[in-house]
Structure 1
Amino acid sequence: MSFYQFAKTVVKIFLKPKYKVQSYGTENIPTEGPVIICSNHISNYDPPIVGITSPRPIHFMAKEELFDNKVFGFILRHVNAFPIKRGMSDRNALRRGLEVLKDGHVLGLFPEGTRSKTGEIKRGLAGAGFFALRSKATIVPCAIIGQYKSKAPLKVVYGKPVEMETMRSNKSSAQEVTDAIMEEIKKIKENH
């Protein structure tokens, strides 16, 4: 068993019953090839919650400060997370994200950049669109619905992949692509 699988099992044991985590639409995540999972962001628990509900391992970007703690940094690196400098264009993180996709793996993104304190879905940053346009990845929108309250159900819903061919051929901007992805996440939230 890999460290990732071990960590996933441990997190599942603790978080799944505590927050009554229910997942839907996992069949929308292709079983192979590059995938970008884009989710809304409401809590620090979002990455592990998306991680335990996805059938495939996910590589998440995490703010650089989280790697400062030696133990936590070690764990993050061994569950496929890599650092990103916030508030600036981090070329190393962008390059690393593209490598993850080029190697046929899953990249997990929270396009809003920071958590939404109200739970309302905010406008996403252009980064998600950048990765979508620079790769041949399938873009899977994901909505985390509910609140992180003990024994209150928390839904993780994966939607159908975002149609990218038109946007790629129309030479849409990275921001336009991110806006389209966020629109899909909103629709999932409204329909559940």
Structure 2
Amino acid sequence: MKDLLDEIGSCTVCDSFFLHQPRPIVSISSSSKLLIIGQAPGRKVHESGIPWDDASGSNLRNWLNLPEDVFYDSSKVALVPMGFCYPGSGKSGDLPPRPECAPLWHSKILTHCTSVKLTLLIGQYAQKYYLRERMQGNLTETVKAFESYLPKHLPLPHPSPRNRIWMKKNQWFEMSLLPKLKTHIEKLNIV
């Protein structure tokens, strides 16, 4: 595992696409029971080097009802983005995750994460990559059909504060899905 983390940490495959120094950010352990696959680090996470160290991470921890010490304990929770480095800013937010990371690293990571009981697929990039043809017509329909992907996967929208409009339009998410998500997290016995 240490060799893999060192290899990921020194990766420069996408170096030519960035205006900044690559900083792969991932947190894994062979004993992690919960695997969270997100999009890519944002600017704040790039600067701190801590996954989900921003408002989105705060929202996600609330959704999961996990305290920071558990969330950031890699022996319990693995945090793996689709793109390991901050992709930079676009016109309406961050650019998409670099497409090289997941095919290059995810299968190697999953080989080591043998204790995972539940994988959260956060956002459309993770859902498209892992659910493939099983994904519904769009993110909303996929998240709404979350029970059909259990017990292995559970798709979620991105917890970004920018998704407030989506949350208001889809109140079923907070009323129906989040309580069930918290129950699944409790069953993992990681707190």
- The two structures have a TM-score, normalised by structure 2, of 0.30
Higher share of residues assigned strand: 1
More RCO (CA 8 Å, sep 6+): 1
